[in-house]
Amino acid sequence: MSEQRKADHIRINLEEDVNFRALTTGLENYHFLHQALPELNWAEVDPSITFLGKTLQAPLLISSMTGGTEQAAQINRTLAAAAEARGIAMGVGSQRPALEDSSLAASFKVREQAPTTVLLANLGAVQLNYGYGVDHCCRAVDMIEADALILHFNVLQEAVQPEGDTNFRGLLAKVEQVCRTLPVPVIAKEVG
């Protein structure tokens, strides 16, 4: 994906109306029953969890948004600082641009801003059908000192963008090989 496309993603979300009109989150379908006298002590409620050997204050993830431009670098640093401050996990955007142009790696490197929280590297799984292998996955993890690697599956986006990578045949075996070989856990994530 070009640096310009990454910049366009940020610009479009900042400047254009990207809200769905008919599609919602579905949260309007849930109604909580009011409990005026709950039998609990809020001080005893602990949402913290241990994930990938680290304690998170809540099971939340700032998930894989951007990277590859100077503006994206600032966004990633800000998100990483917020994740560290709140004790939640963070995943960076697809690191493919930085693997193809090492000058873009700095836009993903946020361990300085998030020294103790869970940090997740990220690559498109389909790239395993286009020359990427375990070595690329290791480079992505090492680049940001990640605790795990997200392999994202974005079939629809790849199918509709002009330069999309659309060969998903045989991908499962390659993902399995990465899972068996990579020295950190692998997370499969469907995106759209």
Q: What is the DSSP string of 68-115?
A: SSHHHHHHHHHHHHHHHHHT-EEE-S--HHHHH-GGGGGGT--TTT-S
What's the pLDDT at 192? 61
Mean pLDDT of 142-168: 95
Architecture of domain 46-190: Alpha-Beta Barrel (3.20)
What's the pLDDT at 18? 75
Cβ-based burial of 178 (10 A; exposed 0-12, middle 13-18, buried ≥19): buried
Do the beta carbons of residue 160 and residue 192 sit within 8 Å?
Answer: no
Nearest to 80 by CA among 70, 71, 91, 66: 91
User: Could you report the per-residue pLDDT of 172-182, keeping only the tens digit for each?
Assistant: 999 999 999 99
User: Could you report the per-residue pLDDT of 133-151, keeping only the tens digit for each?
Assistant: 999 999 999 999 999 999 9
Sequence spans of domains, the chain: 46-190
Mean pLDDT of 184-190: 97
